[in-house]
Every structure is written in C-alpha cells, then in structure tokens.
Amino acid sequence: MRIEGEGTLLRIFVGESDRWHGKPLYEVIVERARAEGLAGATVLRGLEGFGAHSRVHTSRILRLSEDLPVVIEIVDRPERIEAILPALDELVAEGLVTLERVRVISYRARADG
C-alpha cells in the first residue's frame, strides 16, 4: 500500500489500564485498525498526563501510576479514517479522540517484507 498527499491523523488518548472485554483497550483498537485494513497504528506510552478528571498519572517513582496515558496514532486516507470512527465511539468510553489533516510525504513497505 502506498499513501501520499492528503491524509488524516487520528489520535486516541486513553489510559493504560482501560479495558474492553478484559483486553487492554489500546490492543483492541490496534487490532480493529488492522482488521479494517488501515495503513498502520502506533501506540505511545506517556510519562505523565491528566485528563477530564484532572488526576495526574505519572511514571515518577514517588507517585507511580498504573494508569499512564496512552496515545494511539493512525494515519490513512480521510475516508478510511472516517469509516473506523463509529467503532471507536463504541470502544472508547472515556478518553479523547482527535483528527488532524496531514500531508503524507512517504509511506511505503519494503519490497521484501
């Protein structure tokens, strides 16, 4: 798959301890994105953050949290991102979902992989 030009960046902000039917929510979202044939997904674990409840979650040793912030980023064509939004509405009970227009310069797989 090659993508170049206009794209959409989907960011989903959730907590590391968020679950969907016993599985980590970020894993479920990545699996769903893959099943839908999206270009790819990356999960980033945050060092510190707070959300709607204003509770600080941190990796600092004095205030060690088991619920660090997690961001899932997915870039693909706008129509493909729009197609997964209803599933995310069902999966993400608490968190933040954002969309941004992006310009994709290069997205290619290796020929041998």
Name the pairing type of β-strands 69-76 and 96-104: unpaired
64: exposed, middle or buried (Cβ count in 10 Å: 0-12, 13-18, 19+) = exposed
Model confidence at 86: pLDDT above 60: yes
Q: What pTM does this model have?
A: 0.83
Q: Which domains does the chain have, with CATH numbers?
A: 5-104 (3.30.70.120)
Per-residue pLDDT at 100: 97
Q: Which two tokens stand for residue 56?
A: 């600080």
Per-residue pLDDT at 87: 96
Per-residue pLDDT at 38: 95
Q: How far apart are CA 84 and CA 36, in angstroms?
A: 8
Residue 41: beta bridge partners? 74
Q: How far apart are CA 18 and CA 80, in angstroms?
A: 25
Q: How far apart are CA 63 and CA 108, in angstroms?
A: 41
pLDDT digits (tens, 9 = 90+) for 53-78: 666 666 655 555 567 889 999 999 99
Per-residue pLDDT at 106: 82
Question: Which range (20-29, 41-50, 102-111) has the least confidence?
Answer: 102-111
Q: How far apart are CA 10 and CA 97, in angstroms?
A: 7
**Amino acid identity at 24:** P
